[in-house]
């Protein structure tokens, strides 16, 4: 005979799964996903919950008298650290007993539906500024500041656009890097830019998978070998796609 948990148990497992799902989708570390889920369960009277988290899906088991294991598939991942922060706050309030399960669930559903904090134009603008600043940090001259800004901004805008249009991974990074290379070559050719190498390095920086690199190391450190290795492979392939895009332009030019 199969026994199902009571409605309280169902709410709690729903709550834990949703919290874990949001953190995992938004770019949190595996350790944080597991900690958050087991902590929320423990605060609501299920101290022996178990979970298993990979970048593409997570299992969660409440434990106790009527254990039922549930599974959530993660198909889309993005980088939204403010959602990770918000879920973190909700989970802290649950642990302190300031928030009951129903309210927390409503709040998490609100967080899940919420749109990103910053509009696309602001992200593109900051990618452009970051490109210019990286050029200076890599010992470039101020005369190349504006060319790097333009190449980096246009490249990042293209990345955002392609991520929406094409659902094939690594292609967006490849094509954006190609366009950045083409722009940089055009700038240097027309005399608008001066040092080709530094302009390209600076404006490619916003495409670098920084979150994946950091997360891969942190996951491996915490003993989450499967997640760590797959995030590392993801980062490596993304970096290779960027490199290939630039290489195509360089070999076409020379």
The minimum distance between CB 229 and another protein, in angstroms, equals 13
Q: Name the region of 97 (left: φ>0; alpha: ψ -120 to 50; beta: rest).
A: left
Cα angle at 31 between 35 and 159, to 5 degrees? 125
The minimum distance between CB 249 and another protein, in angstroms, equals 9
24-26-28-30 Cα dihedral, nearest 10 degrees: 20
Distance (Å, rounded) from C-alpha 81 to C-alpha 44? 26
Determine if 217 is a binding residue for another protein (CB under 8 A).
yes
Q: Which of the residues 195 through 214 are near another protein (CB under 8 A)? A: 197, 200-201, 204-206, 208, 210-211, 213-214
Nearer to another protein, 166 or 221 (CB): 221
The C-alpha R_g of the chain, in whole angstroms, comes to: 22
Determine if 254 is a binding residue for another protein (CB under 8 A).
yes
Specify the DSSP class assigned to residue 116: P
Among 234, 217, 216, 149, residue whose Cα is nearest residue 184: 149
Q: Which residue in 45, 48, 56, 81 binds another protein (CB under 8 A)?
A: 81
Q: What are phi and psi of 133, to 5 degrees?
A: -65, -40
The minimum distance between CB 125 and another protein, in angstroms, equals 9
DSSP β-bridge partners for residue 52: 59
Q: Give the Å distances, CA to CA, from 167 to 77, 161, 199, 242.
A: 12, 11, 29, 17
Q: Which residue in 21, 32, 224, 231 binds another protein (CB under 8 A)?
A: 32
| Cβ neighbours, 10 Å, residue 107 | 18
- Name the one range near another protein by CB under 8 A: 1-9, 52-60, 73-81, 168-176: 73-81
Are the C-beta atoms of residues 232 and 40 closer than 8 Å to each other?
A: no
Q: Which of the residues 144 through 173 are near another protein (CB under 8 A)? A: 156
Binding mask 118-137 for another protein (x = CB under 8 A): x---xx--xx-xx-xxx-xx
- Name the one range near another protein by CB under 8 A: 8-16, 95-103, 105-113, 116-124: 116-124
Determine if 34 is a binding residue for another protein (CB under 8 A).
no
Nearer to another protein, 102 or 197 (CB): 197
- Name the one range near another protein by CB under 8 A: 11-19, 28-36, 53-61, 165-173: 28-36
Distance (Å, rounded) from C-alpha 106 to C-alpha 247? 49
Provide the binding-site residues for another protein, judged by CB under 8 A.
Answer: 27-29, 32, 79-86, 88-89, 92, 116-118, 122-123, 126-127, 129-130, 132-134, 136-138, 156, 197, 200-201, 204-206, 208, 210-211, 213-215, 217-218, 221, 239, 243, 246-247, 250-251, 254
């Amino acid at each position: 005979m199969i026994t199902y948990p009571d409605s309280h148990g169902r709410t709690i497992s729903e709550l834990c799964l949703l919290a874990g799902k949001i953190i995992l989708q938004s770019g949190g570390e595996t350790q944080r996903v597991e900690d958050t889920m087991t902590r929320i369960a423990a605060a609501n009277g299920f101290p022996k919950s178990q979970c298993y988290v990979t970048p593409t899906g997570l299992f969660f088991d409440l434990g106790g008298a009527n254990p039922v294991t549930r599974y959530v598939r993660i198909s889309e991942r993005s980088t939204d650290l403010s959602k990770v922060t918000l879920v973190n706050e909700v989970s802290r309030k649950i642990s302190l007993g300031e928030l009951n399960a129903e309210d927390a669930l409503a709040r998490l559903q609100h967080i899940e539906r919420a749109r990103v904090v910053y509009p696309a134009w602001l992200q593109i603008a900051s990618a452009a500024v970051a490109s210019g600043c990286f050029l200076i940090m890599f010992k470039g001259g101020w005369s190349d500041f504006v060319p790097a800004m333009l190449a980096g901004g246009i490249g990042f805008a293209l990345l955002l656009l392609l991520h929406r249009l094409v659902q094939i991974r690594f292609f967006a990074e490849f094509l954006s890097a190609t366009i950045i290379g083409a722009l940089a070559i055009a700038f240097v050719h027309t005399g608008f830019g001066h040092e080709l190498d530094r302009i390209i390095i600076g404006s490619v920086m916003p495409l670098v998978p920084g979150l994946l690199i950091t997360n891969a190391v942190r996951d491996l450190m915490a003993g989450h070998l499967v997640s760590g290795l797959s995030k590392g492979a993801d980062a490596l392939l993304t970096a290779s796609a960027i490199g290939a895009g630039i290489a195509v332009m360089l070999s076409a030019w020379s």
